[in-house]
């Protein structure tokens, strides 16, 4: 017969089958002994038999389907080399059989009788069981190793290095701090804790010539991986993406921490605060000012805006009440114009005030003073480094002039020092420009009052889109419970300055299925929710 040979070794390290070369040797000897002609050889190295997505395997199946027929049989060392999955084995053997190609194992019984087919099915079932059981045993062993604080991943995290330790008769891997990279990790966390974002931190690291993971430039992905990895706080986590649905292994203190837990948690909080808020497209395009901010204090659903009476009136209504009807939530309809006016008035009274803006200007100036001191210190360091480089260049030039050394020998070193000198001079120019921009004086009371008036005017007269963006930058949530509205807002002073204030919304009454805001000169009208 014309035959093709198929050999595979698993990606599992525990695979005890023969190597590729040993399998091919045995297959060739079998073909020669039985008078078969080998027309092709297909190989899959480091490929699991649980999947049929193997390059050599797929090429073999594709070739078998061609006409005229290319070969009459496929020789494998064991049926487990063909497939570990009983389902795949049945499917692809049926495909090959339809093409007139049979699969022959050279080390296991091969008989086309009912008994032979039964034996073949039993062997394949045992292979599948072995493969699944082996996977569970490997996973169990790795989870045990991880629970004891050993590091199992191939990738060495930035800031650490691997060390081999004795564990009984075996050697296992742990992590220790890399003294060259750990200060960079601390700088990254410090930058985020000081209020900087990922883009700004990446730019700073790359401008200073600090090499990132794998020696490449830094990017936001590599930075985010470090900032969100509990490993840097001393917590080893393994098995986050378990295919068996198992909970990940978490071991506190298994790795020496580069940053303390409090700093790690604060960094997560700062990144969350800086993360752009996502808005549903319907809310983004809504003509209601408080869409996405207002919610029901009874059931927690959002208050949605809707029109009534052909668009002559508009209301905010609880999402539950709007969908499920009367009785589903005790919330009431709120006149949109009056409700928005109440919220805007509270923003003016409590947030956009002269005192708040004056304090904001003071804080900005203090921050600028702090940055100025930092820039001045860096300028002093740059001046010292430039002076040192000038001295070294002078000595090199003297050596060249005195003919003690050949210029070609010293040229690479001179070129490197000149490159460092240019980089330091560029950084000095950048710092001097930043210092020139930071000469801002504290605003006088009249200027602050003008700012307040301008911001109030913005809330009253600007477009809906501008007002919505402005309100969202200050207000976090507007929760309405009965006649009371809870306004949670951020004072423009610091990211952590969240405040909340409660005020009464004018009582509402049911009228013809809708609710009207009761005014002081209007009688209360109470009727059942019906038309």
Average pLDDT, integer, range 365-378: 70
pLDDT number for residue 529: 27
* pLDDT above 90 as % of the chain: 11
The residues, ordered by sequence, that sit 6+ positions from 293 with a Cβ below 8 Å of its Cβ are 471, 472, 475, 476, 477, 478
CA neighbor of 491 nearest in space, from 364, 359, 367, 373: 359
**88-97, 220-229, 367-376, 513-522: which is most confident:** 220-229
For the cut 90, the answer to whether the pLDDT of residue 38 exceeds it is: yes
Residues 270, 196: Cα–Cα separation, whole Å: 9
- The dihedral built from the CA positions of residue 109, 114, 117 and 121, taken in this order, carries a sign that is negative
Average pLDDT, integer, range 243-249: 71
Average pLDDT, integer, range 328-342: 87
Q: Lowest-confidence range among 199-213, 340-354, 395-409?
A: 395-409
Residues 90, 352: Cα–Cα separation, whole Å: 73
Beta-strand pair 102-105/73-76: parallel
For the cut 50, the answer to whether the pLDDT of residue 443 exceeds it is: yes
Show the tokens assigned to 474. 């200050």
Average pLDDT, integer, range 80-87: 73
CA 128 to chain centre: 36
Instruction: Give the model's confidence band at 188: pLDDT under 50 very low, under 70 low, under 90 confident, else very high.
Output: very high
pLDDT number for residue 34: 92
The residues, ordered by sequence, that sit 6+ positions from 336 with a Cβ below 8 Å of its Cβ are 288, 305, 314, 315, 316
pLDDT tens digit sequence for 272-309: 877 655 545 455 457 788 888 889 988 988 888 888 76
Residues 163, 180: Cα–Cα separation, whole Å: 16
Residues 383, 380: Cα–Cα separation, whole Å: 5
Q: Work out the number of other CB atoms within 10 angstroms of the CB of residue 378.
A: 13
pLDDT tens digit sequence for 110-120: 655 565 556 55
Instruction: Give the model's confidence band at 15: pLDDT under 50 very low, under 70 low, under 90 confident, else very high.
Output: very low
Residues 400, 408: Cα–Cα separation, whole Å: 10
Instruction: Give the model's confidence band at 531: pLDDT under 50 very low, under 70 low, under 90 confident, else very high.
Output: very low
pLDDT tens digit sequence for 484-509: 888 887 665 444 444 455 554 433 33
Residues 323, 332: Cα–Cα separation, whole Å: 14
Peptide bond into 90 cis (omega under 30): no
pLDDT number for residue 472: 79
**72-86, 181-195, 305-319: which is most confident:** 181-195
Q: Is 458 exposed, middle or buried (0-12, 13-18, 19+ CB in 10 A)?
A: middle
For the chain, the residue count is 531
List of E strands, 390-483: 475-481
Contact 63, 30 (CB under 8 A): no
pLDDT tens digit sequence for 62-77: 888 888 888 999 999 8
Average pLDDT, integer, range 431-457: 69
Where is pLDDT greater, at 413 or 182?
Answer: 182
* pLDDT above 70 as % of the chain: 73
Beta-strand pair 37-44/73-76: unpaired
First CA to last CA distance, the chain: 88
pLDDT number for residue 403: 67
Helix (H, G, I), strand (E, B) or coil at 375: helix
Give the single-character DSSP code of 265: H
Q: Work out the number of other CB atoms within 10 angstroms of the CB of residue 79.
A: 23
Contact 451, 357 (CB under 8 A): yes
Average pLDDT, integer, range 372-386: 82
pLDDT number for residue 137: 57
Q: Lowest-confidence range among 80-89, 338-347, 382-391, 512-521?
A: 512-521
Question: Which residue's structure tokens are 């070739």?
Answer: 63
pLDDT number for residue 385: 86
What phi, psi does 314 have (nearest 5°)?
-140, 150
What phi, psi does 502 have (nearest 5°)?
-110, 140
Whole-angstrom CA distances from 518 to 330, 509, 523 are 18, 7, 8
Helix (H) or strand (E) holding 138: helix 114-147
pLDDT number for residue 525: 29
Contacts 24+ apart (CB under 8 A), 497-502: 499/350, 501/346, 501/350
Residues 34, 144: Cα–Cα separation, whole Å: 49
Instruction: Give the model's confidence band at 483: pLDDT under 50 very low, under 70 low, under 90 confident, else very high.
Output: confident
Contact 503, 485 (CB under 8 A): yes
Average pLDDT, integer, range 440-447: 58
On average, the pLDDT of the chain sits at 76
pLDDT tens digit sequence for 166-177: 877 788 888 899
Where is pLDDT greater, at 147 or 20?
Answer: 20
pLDDT number for residue 123: 57
Q: Work out the number of other CB atoms within 10 angstroms of the CB of residue 3.
A: 22
Average pLDDT, integer, range 298-321: 83
List of E strands, 363-507: 475-481, 484-490, 498-504
Residues 270, 191: Cα–Cα separation, whole Å: 11
The answer for 349, left when phi > 0, alpha when psi is -120 to 50, beta otherwise, is alpha
Where is pLDDT greater, at 467 or 119?
Answer: 467
For the cut 90, the answer to whether the pLDDT of residue 5 exceeds it is: yes
Q: Lowest-confidence range among 130-134, 144-148, 168-172?
A: 130-134
Residues 82, 123: Cα–Cα separation, whole Å: 12
pLDDT number for residue 513: 30
Average pLDDT, integer, range 190-212: 87
pLDDT number for residue 333: 87
């Amino acid at each position: 017969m014309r035959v093709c040979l198929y050999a595979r070794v698993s990606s599992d390290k525990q695979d005890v089958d023969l190597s590729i070369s040993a399998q091919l040797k045995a297959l060739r000897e079998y073909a020669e002994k039985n008078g078969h002609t080998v027309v092709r050889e297909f190989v899959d190295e480091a490929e699991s038999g649980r999947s049929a997505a193997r390059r050599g395997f797929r090429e073999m199946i594709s070739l078998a389907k061609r006409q005229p027929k290319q070969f009459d049989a496929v020789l494998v060392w064991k049926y487990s080399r063909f497939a570990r999955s009983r389902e795949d084995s049945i499917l692809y053997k049926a495909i090959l059989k339809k093409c007139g190609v049979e699969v022959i194992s050279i080390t296991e019984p091969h008989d086309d009788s009912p008994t032979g087919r039964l034996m073949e099915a039993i062997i394949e079932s045992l292979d599948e069981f072995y493969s699944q059981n082996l996977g569970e045993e490997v996973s169990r062993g790795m989870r045990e190793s991880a629970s004891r604080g050993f590091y199992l991943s191939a990738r060495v995290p930035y800031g650490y290095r691997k060390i081999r330790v004795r564990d009984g008769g075996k050697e296992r891997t742990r992590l220790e701090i890399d003294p060259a990279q750990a200060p960079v990790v601390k700088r990254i966390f410090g930058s985020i804790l000081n209020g900087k974002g990922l883009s700004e931190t990446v730019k700073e690291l790359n401008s200073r010539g600090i090499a990132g993971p794998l020696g490449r430039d830094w990017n936001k992905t590599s930075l985010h991986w470090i900032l969100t990895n509990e490993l840097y706080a001393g917590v080893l986590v393994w098995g986050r993406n378990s295919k068996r649905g198992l909970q990940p292994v978490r071991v506190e203190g298994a790795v020496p921490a580069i940053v303390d837990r409090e700093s790690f948690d604060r960094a997560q909080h700062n990144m969350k605060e800086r993360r752009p808020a996502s808005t549903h497209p319907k809310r983004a395009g809504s003509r209601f000012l408080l869409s996405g901010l207002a919610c029901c204090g009874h059931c927690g659903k959002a208050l949605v805006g809707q029109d009534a009476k052909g668009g002559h009136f508009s209301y905010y209504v609880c999402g539950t009440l709007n969908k499920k009807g009367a009785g589903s939530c005790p919330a009431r309809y709120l006149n949109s114009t009056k409700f928005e006016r109440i919220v805007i008035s509270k923003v003016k009274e409590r947030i956009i005030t002269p005192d708040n803006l004056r304090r904001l200007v003071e804080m900005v100036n203090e921050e600028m003073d702090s940055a100025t001191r930092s820039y001045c210190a860096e300028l002093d360091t740059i001046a010292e480094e430039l002076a040192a480089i000038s001295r070294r260049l002078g000595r090199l030039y003297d050596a060249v002039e005195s003919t003690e050394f050949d210029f070609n020998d010293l040229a690479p070193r001179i070129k490197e020092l000149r490159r460092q000198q240019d980089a330091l001079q560029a950084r000095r120019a950048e710092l001097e420009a930043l210092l020139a921009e930071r000469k801002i004086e504290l605003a006088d009371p009249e200027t602050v009052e003008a700012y307040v008036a301008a911001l109030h005017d913005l809330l009253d007269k600007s477009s809906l889109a501008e007002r919505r963006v402005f309100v969202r930058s200050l207000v976090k949530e507007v929760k309405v419970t009965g006649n009371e509205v809870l306004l949670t807002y951020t004072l423009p002073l610091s990211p952590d300055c969240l405040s909340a204030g409660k005020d009464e919304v004018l009582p509402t009454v049911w009228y013809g299925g809708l609710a009207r805001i009761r005014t002081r000169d209007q009688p209360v009208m109470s009727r059942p929710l019906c038309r």
